[in-house]
Chain A
């Protein structure tokens, strides 16, 4: 059977599975809709969190990015996993004890302020929309490349599926479909990785094969790759080109941003008890780590294969996948010296080949000539990753609108049924907006990822920490902290990414910190401003101090 047929079958089967799961887990109440009735087991929640967290970017782009960045790619590996340690120790147990439905709800109650709540709602909605448009685009790419349908049709099909289970089942439907999606995506990621590990290093475990040797020559893969890189004029794979301070700040911003992302935080509201929240973060990171420790191995295998297949080879001899990706414009070859051979080198003026980093994982099975069904499986996995993350984000948007704005701020006397209907309508609205953003992506989608993490790091993280670990932090301090952190971070990113992109280089950055890493500075500013302002303004009321004491100790969660 050919690749296209396999892809249709595997994608179709996986979609049927998600719909089947969704029908079995419909939401009957707002508690079901927002937090799955707080009845999810820690293990299932861990799996759902892993699928929620691992987006199209983790599945499709990350290994490719690392394979082009080498050591510098470590910022994503450490940054997108280390945040879970912060989450487990500093956030999840206390937020679970507090027992809210959303992140803005915690901010509003702890800081006894509607202003703080609304600022938090605005941050949550902005961060989530930024993120979700990227997911919808990932769906479109997979459809257009593997099923050869138009990107628009692909996005509409994806929207239809998400619409079905997010609107019908809310958090309950999302949670159990995410469990299924985790299984699909991790299987789809591991199968080609195992094939590659056996082919390149003679061991089936990618994490070991990564440090292993070529079975024929006995040369270690990493040494071989460093050698090839030097020959072609790239920086050695295991060295980086980024400065140490920049790597430090980017890693910190991604870690803190991860811990501050609302769609990740609310997952830990769904388990029954505080102790379940703690251990559930552990399960989540374990399931994430399976993919995140495999990705750098895949990166090395892919890079080695790519260099072996294309560098210095005649253009005429390129296999079929090469021309297919050329059709999509994601690979371009320009024969500058006219000799018909592909010169792929570090020097930009002499280099003749441009490869989009995003295609590495998708193209990998074809580059390595794996069986057709593996290619179809990777397509189904990429869709699982994109859809599961999109659904989690859409739920944050819908609950921010129906619960935080409508129920808590505008219309407190709304009935349970009315709120559930409002939640469904706002979820439907969010799906449509996200789909439109996916079909017509604003040119800055890729650039705004730095925004999402920077904003989460510089807004939510400090106020939640201060709200739990100090009893004296007050309304004024929290609002001043959030606003100053966000404003600083946003101004820095907007300046270098949108207003004056020509100046976006290490020479002009403050202390050599890139816009990706500036969220760390924004977070420090937030902490400093909040602590200073709270010293000079009135202390929070006694009821809030009691609330903090209650949050710190488990017991009595409902």
Chain B
């Protein structure tokens, strides 16, 4: 059954994808799999990968995710004719 409001359905799809990435970099790479990832080193640095995700990488990804969401939604606003002046 098609969703009665296509704008909202698209928004929910963006949210699902972006929040999955949000969860993967922080709770996944930074916590649940941190020990396993710590076996890998970022070449040329002292960073173990799990530790780096927990203290640096996840934060960079968070910033990018928000700007990506803002862009996607601005485009969607225009496509659906609900963009604000």
Contacts and interface: CB of A to CB of B under 8 A. Distances in A.
Q: Do A and B bind each other?
A: yes
Contacts of B48: 222, 238
B11 to A, nearest CB: 8
Interface string A257-278: 0000000000000000111001
Nearest to A66: B55
B77 A282 contact: no
Contacts, number: 136
B45 A220 contact: yes
B62 A81 contact: yes
Contacts of A223: 46
A333 interface: no
Interface residues of A, number: 51
Interface in B53-77: 54-56, 58-60, 62-63, 65-67, 69-70, 73-74, 77
B51 A71 contact: yes
Interface string A202-223: 0000011011110000001111
A555 B81 CA distance: 9
B30 to A, nearest CB: 6
A390 interface: no
Nearest to B67: A282
Nearest to B18: A89
A278 B84 CA distance: 13
A554 B84 contact: yes
Interface residues of B, number: 42
A279 interface: yes
Interface in A241-261: 244, 247-248, 251-252, 255
B82 A553 contact: yes
Q: Which of B32, B48, B59, B73 has the most A CB atoms < 10 Å from its CB? A: B59
Nearest to A277: B70
30 contacts: A74-B31, A81-B59, A84-B62, A85-B19, A85-B22, A85-B65, A85-B66, A88-B66, A88-B69, A89-B69, A211-B45, A213-B46, A220-B45, A222-B47, A223-B46, A251-B26, A251-B27, A273-B84, A275-B70, A278-B74, A285-B63, A285-B66, A289-B59, A296-B55, A296-B56, A552-B5, A552-B11, A553-B5, A554-B83, A557-B84
